[in-house]
Amino acid sequence: MRESTIGQAISEVKDNIRRACERAGRNADEVTLIAVSKTMPVSDLREAMAAGMIEFGENRPQELRDKQAEITEPLHWHMIGSLQTNKLKYVVGKTVLIHSVDSLHLAEAIEEESVKRGVVSEILLEVNIAGEVSKGGIAPAELEELVRAVSVLPHVRVRGLMTVAPYTENAEENREYFRKMKQLMVDINSKNIDNIDMDELSMGMTGDYEVAVEEGATLVRVGTGIFGHRVYTKSN
């Protein structure tokens, strides 16, 4: 059987990750590839599943709910988009990791929903590492305070940090930001905050995931590089 285009793209991205790990002296199994399937039809997700993919990233709670209604196989769903507290019912207990927590208010709402559902939610704190006005994420200078505040929530577990680096044609331009993210995580861990021992770094997208891996990413979020270009309609 001929391998699907999506299947081929997945093997290529995985090869690139492996090579980036080799260059950086890292073990390839330290890096998890997340297929960002937002806006893509269920048939495309199924092609990716046929190629062995189980990690999927979505950014809209309702779209996640709709896809989970159709795909009942036990996948690992990641929430990577900005979140409103009234949508948490579609996310808490239905994802393995929430990447995009950037306020105490949101973390407390996740705590509350987690208690309701009897789960502990694993989260990442999103950092606006380049200080872009248009982007979500907390400023690096405010991170420690947020970590300390979230660390006392019993049903929320901080696993690490996430960033969406600036859009660029030249991935090298983002290397400094990825490096800063790694350093931020090391700095926070060195403070020995109770309940905080972070080891995940979600960074790198289609345009820059190889550089991100060289700089320590443990989770890379690749959409276009796997599924091709997204077509946005009014509903998404």
Site for ligand PLP, rule CB under 6 A: 36, 38, 59, 80-81, 164, 205-207, 221-225
Residue 38 or 157: which CB sits closer to ligand PLP? 38
Residue 44: CB atoms within 10 A of its CB come to 18
Residue 138 or 205: which CB sits closer to ligand PLP? 205
Measured from the CB of residue 206, what is the shortest distance to ligand PLP in angstroms? 3
Report residue 221: phi and psi, to 5°: -115, 105
What distance in Å separates the CA atoms of residue 6 and residue 45, rounded to the nearest whole number? 9
SS3 for 86-126, per residue? HHHHHCCCCCCEEEEECCHHHHHHHHHHHHHHCCCEEEEEE
What distance in Å separates the CA atoms of residue 135 and residue 146, rounded to the nearest whole number? 18
Measured from the CB of residue 167, what is the shortest distance to ligand PLP in angstroms? 8
User: How many residues would you count in the chain?
Assistant: 236
CA distances for 98 relative to 61, 80, 92, 214, angstroms: 11, 6, 8, 23
Residue 101 or 205: which CB sits closer to ligand PLP? 205
Choose among 231, 222, 235, 186: nearest CA to 20: 222
Residue 153 or 164: which CB sits closer to ligand PLP? 164
Measured from the CB of residue 232, what is the shortest distance to ligand PLP in angstroms? 11
Residue 5 or 224: which CB sits closer to ligand PLP? 224
Residue 27 or 170: which CB sits closer to ligand PLP? 170
What distance in Å separates the CA atoms of residue 236 and residue 234, rounded to the nearest whole number? 6
Measured from the CB of residue 133, what is the shortest distance to ligand PLP in angstroms? 17
Q: Report the amino acid identity of residue 235.
A: S
CA 140 to chain centre: 18
Residue 8 or 27: which CB sits closer to ligand PLP? 8
Q: Closest residue to ligand PLP, Cβ-based?
A: 223
Measured from the CB of residue 72, what is the shortest distance to ligand PLP in angstroms? 24
Any residues with CB less than 8 A from the CB of 194 and at least 6 apart, and which? 151
Measured from the CB of residue 127, what is the shortest distance to ligand PLP in angstroms? 12
Measured from the CB of residue 148, what is the shortest distance to ligand PLP in angstroms? 25
